[in-house]
Amino acid sequence: MTDVYELSLRYGMNPHQKEAKLTNGGKPLPLRVVNGDPGFINLLDALNAFQLVRELRHATGQPAAASFKHVSPAGAAVYSPLTPELAKAYGVSGLELSPLATAYARARGADRMSSFGDAAALSDVVDASTAQLLKREVSDLVVAPGYTPEALEILKQKKGGKYLILEIDPNYVPEPIEQRNLFGLTLQQERNNAVLTEASFERIVTENKELPDSAKRDLLVALITLKYTQSNSICYALDGQTIGIGAGQQSRIHCTRLAGDKADRWYLRQHPIALNMKFREGLARAEQNNAIDLWLEEELTPIEQASWEQAFEEVPPRLTREQKREWLSGLTNVAYGSDAFLPFRDNIDRASRSGVKYVVQAGSSMRDEEVVQAANDYGMVMVYSGVRLFHH
């Protein structure tokens, strides 16, 4: 990687904020622009997202991917084979996917609505399989430690040749002290170098203490994702990927509800009716995602309903509330992570409705006993990590 000491950006947080650039205190940047023209927010997403996938790779030993939007992950995943139902729900049926491409399909599929126009981060050198998947999605940028020549050729065709491709040094180690300027003042702190491993799950505080390896992996995915999610934050994970993330809410129960609702929608999108919808010919994949999302709404305005029906050759029947609940009863063994302690049992009560079996939280709340009892009431396994993971 040729040494670059300064990178000029299109603009800052907004187009009227000029004089934007990236520097590294007079040292070479660990990042280079392979293609495109980055902006301020692009780099906020890229640098946060790559830290997440690099850490997931180290923690699990599997290729990892993240789909970032507005400095929080819409989805994150490590490699795990896709079921035929998931492949169909993610729009990748019939495609030959490498492990890295599979990880990105999972990360992107966790919340396809939020991933529209994402920043994609990959832990490994991007291969042609992953590049082909990226090429067909609406995405603003990709960041990875490298690209095969074939992958680069594919990606450079995206967005009329303007797709932002960033290459980052996977071995870059930043200074232990980080600074941030705010309102003309400088804040300084030690970087969050907390290392999350399976050893983080040794303190089990519930009556149920059965924690299989698959649950440890999912709890790791949840915790590491939370480390790079705007706080307060809650993450539901299953089968090596996030399925619902609640970010940046002022109340933890609202994070739990938001993430739980997303997890429910993730699972409902695998319902046979959703998998076999007959869309109008020529309907874009993003519009198909929107149509499925509206199908899950409890009610639409008459104008909205008429517009929604235009998306289909055959308008699909809607699920009743009882049918939704019956289908959601199949969502089980979900891992749930919190970036801080759980202050009330209401978080556990809501999590139980989305199939949560395994919980990791910091512990040390005034109501720990009440929260642990809630987990016992539902037969959950709860772990105290002992570490808070706020990220702002």
The residues annotated as belonging to the active site are 69-70, 232, 392
Q: Please state, in angstroms and as integers, the Cα–Cα distance from residue 220 to each residue in 7, 89, 168, 323, following that order.
A: 34, 24, 24, 32
Q: Are 264 and 252 within 8 A, CB to CB?
A: no
Distance CA 275, CA 279 (A): 11
Task: Using alpha carbons, select from 107, 108, 78, 82 the residue that is nearest to residue 95.
Answer: 82
Q: Give bridge partners of residue 264 from the DSSP assignment.
A: none
> Within a 10 A sphere around the Cβ of 177, how many other Cβ atoms?
9
Identity of residue 83: T
d(C-alpha 242, C-alpha 77), whole Å? 6
C-alpha Rg value of the chain to the nearest Å: 21
DSSP assignment of 365-378: -TTHHHHHHHHHHT
Asked whether the CA dihedral 159, 128, 117, 303 is positive or negative, the reply is positive
Q: Residue 135: exposed, middle, or buried by beta-carbon count in 10 A (0-12, 13-18, 19+)?
A: middle
